[in-house]
Amino acid sequence: MLQAIRSTRPGGHVGYVGVAHEVTLPGMELFLSGVHLHGGPAPVRRFLPELIDLALKREIDPGRVFDLSLPLDEAAEGYRAMDERRSIKALLRP
């Protein structure tokens, strides 16, 4: 979470889905960053059974959301590619 906040420009937005567990945010750093933090619940129980069934029947490919794969040390390029709409979702590998 801190990496996302620190790599977002002032006035930018960081979104997350679900509950962030074991995450502490330094309030003053978040305040001074000028970054907007938005999150909320994901209705997983409503959609997951159908999605699992579709994936098992190979009617959908959940892996297709990742259209760029990069090593972890190129994470900044992944964020840049998504920001510039050259990528939908970057997969970072160790």
pTM listed for this prediction: 0.47
Other CB atoms within 10 Å distance of the CB of residue 83: 12
- Rounded to whole angstroms, how far apart are CA atoms 31 and 10? 10
User: Which residues, given as ranges, of the chain have pLDDT below 50?
Assistant: none
Q: What is the pLDDT of residue 84?
A: 92
Q: How confident is the model over 60-85, as pLDDT tens digits?
A: 887 778 899 999 999 999 999 999 98
Strand pairing category for 13-17 and 68-71: unpaired
Domain assignments of the chain as residue spans, ordered by start: 1-42, 43-94
Q: Residue 90 CB: number of other CB atoms within 10 A?
A: 19
Yes or no: say if 93 and 71 are a contact pair by the CB < 8 Å rule: yes
